[in-house]
Amino acid sequence: MTIRFSNYMPEIVATRRYLHQHPEIGLSEFETSNYVAAQLVAMGYEVTRGLAKTGVVATLCNGSSGRSIGIRADFDALPILEETGAEYQSRNPGVMHACGHDGHTAMLLGAAKILAERKNFDGVVHLIFQPAEENFGGARLMIEDGLFDRFPCDAVFALHNDPTIPFGHFAFRDGPIMAAVDECKITVNGRGGHGAEPQDTADPIVAGASIIMALQTIVSRNVHPLDPTVVTVGAFHAGGASNVIPQRAEMLLSIRSFDAKVRDQLEQRIRGIAEGQAASYGMTATVVYERGYNATINHKAETDFVRALATRFAGAEKIIEMERPTMGSEDFAYMLQARPGTYFFVGTQRTPDDPPLHHPRYDFNDDILPIGTSFWVELAEAWLPAK
């Protein structure tokens, strides 16, 4: 594996651990934004702030080519109480970098410094430090604030660490790589009363349970078997005492899909089942359905380019072709809708028992920092070859 710039490692590790100690939730990453911007200004980048409130774009021009590249790192954290026990554990209780965005940002800052010092490219580099990936669609917000109008990119690229993939391996997939995600809240409106007199009530718990069971038939009986979909009821809230039948019951759903027509079908069936099942029990159901992130769809030419580079960089034995997309979601989808590019995974596994992403004991594997940093440098220089 080609790993250069190892002399930068202590600085990049220090950056990652500083970010880990100071996590901030999406659209409130003010200190993170200040920290990132200050480093980039010191490196000589033209720095623009304020896209999606806390986003940062750093631009570096060299040579005479009109070609350009965009590389994105996300820097928001999650509302999780950390349990790693690390000496650099979060100093913001209840907020944690449990997805590795601290590592993503540290790698891109490391690459930024190397690119600025070497200037071994011909064109324009735009480094996009994005807020609010986890919940608020920071990529979409940055685009709405004029990201690609103000900073034209011939292509955009992003990676995500993955503790389930062997260390140092690169995973690619043409076309769909991550799912669209929607959320739904179903409220069953019943008639409460005494638990000893159920005949005088309209029990929303019974109707809600029927709705939950009927929802399972959408994937098994309505959607084509070759269209990957998930309908998950993640929460069911009703009542608070054994002898009280409540007025209402609430369910929270997460829905994953890839095809736009299937996505419409899922919403239609969820509404129909909730309302129909409730009516069969003499009740009504209110359905609030919210579309979330679109499916992340990679572009073939750019995926082929990065795959070939990774093969030279890491060796063919460390290239993984993903047979299936993941049902997770990613707002880089919006950048890939606006510009060609690709999204890929880099393995960070220490052991098969590593805590997964979004776990309170998850901790980014610092050993991958020089690999990710070096790869971003090689990608920028390969995309914008010096004359």
Query: Which pLDDT score, from 0 to 100, does residue 7 have?
Result: 76
Q: What is the pLDDT of residue 8?
A: 82
Residues of the chain with pLDDT under 50: none
Degrees, nearest 5: CA angle 349-321-299 = 115
- Does the active-site annotation cover 290? no
Distances (CA, A) of 192 to 204, 250, 257: 8, 14, 36
Residue closest to 220 by CA, chosen among 269, 253, 261, 287: 269
pLDDT for the residue numbered 2: 56
Is 117 one of the annotated active-site residues of the chain?
no
CA–CA separation, 127 and 73 (whole Å): 8
Of 24, 102, 133, 203, the catalytic one is 133
Please tell me which residue in 24, 29, 76, 203 is annotated as part of the active site. 76
Give the residue among 260, 130, 250, 238 at the shortest CA–CA distance from 182: 260
- For the segment 259-271, what is each residue's pLDDT rounded down to a tens digit? 999 999 999 999 9
- Check residue 387 and give its pLDDT: 85
Residue 165 CA to residue 154 CA, distance in Å, equals: 30
Question: CA-to-CA distance for 103 and 88, rounded, in angstroms?
Answer: 13
- Concatenate the DSSP letters of all residues of 318-385 into one string: GEEE-SS-BS---THHHHHHHS-EEEEEEEEESSTTPPPTT-TT----GGGHHHHHHHHHHHHHHHS-
- Cα angle: 126, vertex 34, 154; to 5 degrees: 10
* Cα–Cα distance measured from residue 358 to residue 23, given in angstroms and rounded to the nearest whole number: 14
Question: 352: how many CB neighbours lie within 10 A of its CB?
Answer: 8
Q: What is the pLDDT of residue 253?
A: 98
